[in-house]
Amino acid sequence: MGVSGSGKSTVGEWLADALGVPFADADAFHPRHNIEKMSAGVPLDDADRAPWLDAMAGWLARHGEGGAVLVCSALKHRYRDRLRQASARLFFLHMEGPFELIAERVARREGHFMPPSLLRSQFEALEPLGDDERGAPVSVAGTPEETRAEALAELERAGVC
């Protein structure tokens, strides 16, 4: 979980490969309307997110037995609650870093529908993991290799893998 440009896909694909489990990116679950809205620089509201969250929850439920990696912003506690309804084993890795670093990464990214102008609204909406949530923060300030190693170490510490 984390804001756009925080490295969720890069780390998530690597983790799925390392763990030998299926991988999915939340971007693939967005209805066309959501992509059009974000492409126009308009943040999504909860009504826009509902079918997206339901689709991801369905995917998680289908892969709950053997495990899987899903990368998703999951910015708010209630969004994570919806995903947890599909899998009690869900563990969140919160990819976190300073706005300036992530804004720089988003500005360099090509071919993504989410414009850099929406990043600030994601940081404002972000609710860090609560004490009642299974998960851990992972710093994205280092190299991709350092971030991957920290993510895997957090999963091992939690007994997830």
Q: What angle do CA 25, 133, 88 make, to 5 degrees?
A: 70
Cα–Cα distance, 24 to 12 (Å, whole number): 8
pLDDT in tens, 53-73: 999 999 999 998 889 999 999
Closest CA relative to residue 71, chosen from 60, 82, 87, 85: 60
* Chain position carrying tokens 């984390």: 2
Q: With pLDDT > 70 as the criterion, what percentage of the chain qualifies? A: 95
Q: Residue 129 carries which DSSP code?
A: P
Per-residue pLDDT, 99: 93
Q: What is the mean pLDDT of residues 78-101?
A: 95
Q: Round to the nearest angstrom and report the end-to-end CA distance of the chain.
A: 18
Per-residue pLDDT, 137: 98
pLDDT in tens, 92-121: 999 999 999 998 888 776 655 556 677 888
Q: Residue 90 carries which DSSP code?
A: -
Cα–Cα distance, 160 to 144 (Å, whole number): 21
Indicate whether 88 pLDDT > 90: no
pLDDT in tens, 2-43: 998 899 999 999 999 999 999 999 989 999 998 888 888 888
